[in-house]
Amino acid sequence: MVVMRGGYSRRLVQRLRQALIGLGSVRVKLLLPCFVLFMLVVVAGRAANFMGWRHKPLKQGSLPLGKGYTILINTWKRNDLLKQSVEHYSSCSGLHSIHIVWSEPDPPTDSLRGFLHHVLQLKSINGREVDLHFDINQEDSLNNRFKVIKDLETDAIFSIDDDVVFPCPTVEFAYSVWQSAPDTMVGFVPRMHWLDKTKEDEMYYAYGGWWSVWWMGTYSMVLSKAAFFHRKYLDMYTNQMPASIRDYVTRNRNCEDIAMSFLVANATGAPPIWVQGKIFEIGSTGISSLQGHSERRSQCVNRFVIEYGHMPLVESSVKAVDSRRRWFW
């Protein structure tokens, strides 16, 4: 009996071996890891199901927790970009209304208004259409983008330039970050400042762009070209901030975003929050590509420090990341 069994299993092993040789050992070597990987994915999927681990959107329905946010678009003579921008954001579920800051000498044309309203009609969810307002300004000043909006219905403002576009999930994620820190500026474009040691005799601050942040990993501002903030800061910017700062911004046609960062930092004593996110630039001619940009920005920082009597900006190295979109911890 024992001998017979041994013979049987030996024959089985031999047959298996032949079958393997027949398949070709190279192919087995390739297929086996694939098979193991496949099984792992299947098992992991089952486990996720079993434990109730499902990716779900953070909020359901057309308007999420809170009342949603208002998008404040700053545009200037780039109607094609404005159309693209409105078309894109109108499908974001947390969006309550859109305000377009209009500072051109001519009012928006009927065809532009018609086009935008048509877009919003097409994208309306459950019959709820996003409100669209043009905020028309007589004079052309960068301070216009922070004017108080009378019929504003949300606390959250998402301030953007017309030439940057963020995917809706990215915007909604930043909104959820802002909801947990509504006094803070929450944005996608970090900038930093530091004390310039090369100028020994005076306290001179330098302004650092993207590369400085990338190198140092710290920041002290997020730019209003892509940031969430509370609507109360519009009132503070327009009515409480020293008029000399607004005059400086108007004269120099620059630095309204740095002024806003100073204002929020002075009010909270805390740094802003940088949110990681994909940025798509749809236009490429900004003032930041001009020569001497960094030097002019540094001058703004130093001017505002004099106005405040101290440096209000606070450094941080915190970066908010959507953990649903990370593979590794």
Residue number, 166 or 304, with CB nearest to ligand NAG: 304
CB of 219 to ligand NAG, least distance (A): 21
Among the listed residues 162, 163, 257, 322, the single catalytic one is: 257
CB of 263 to ligand NAG, least distance (A): 7
CB of 261 to ligand NAG, least distance (A): 13
Provide CB contacts within 8 A for 153, sequence distance 6+: 67, 70, 96, 97, 131
In contact, 194 and 236? CB cutoff 8 Å:
no
Residue number, 212 or 220, with CB nearest to ligand NAG: 220
Among candidates 189, 190, 272, which has minimal Cα distance to 230? 272
Instruction: Give buried/exposed letters for 96-123 (b at 16+ CB in 10 A, else e).
Output: bbbbbbbbeeeebeeebeebbeebbeeb
Residue number, 168 or 270, with CB nearest to ligand NAG: 270
Structure tokens at 75: 């545009």
CB of 241 to ligand NAG, least distance (A): 6
Residue number, 28 or 306, with CB nearest to ligand NAG: 306
Report the largest interatomic distance among the alpha carbons of the chain, rounded to a whole angstrom.
104
Round to whole Å and give the CA distance between 271 and 258: 13
Residue number, 179 or 268, with CB nearest to ligand NAG: 268
Round to whole Å and give the CA distance between 261 and 161: 16
257 is catalytic: yes
Point out which residues bind ligand NAG (CB under 6 A): 241-242, 266, 308
CB of 141 to ligand NAG, least distance (A): 19
Residue number, 105 or 309, with CB nearest to ligand NAG: 309
Tell me the residue nearest to ligand NAG as measured from the CB. 266
CB of 255 to ligand NAG, least distance (A): 15
Annotated catalytic sites, by residue?
257
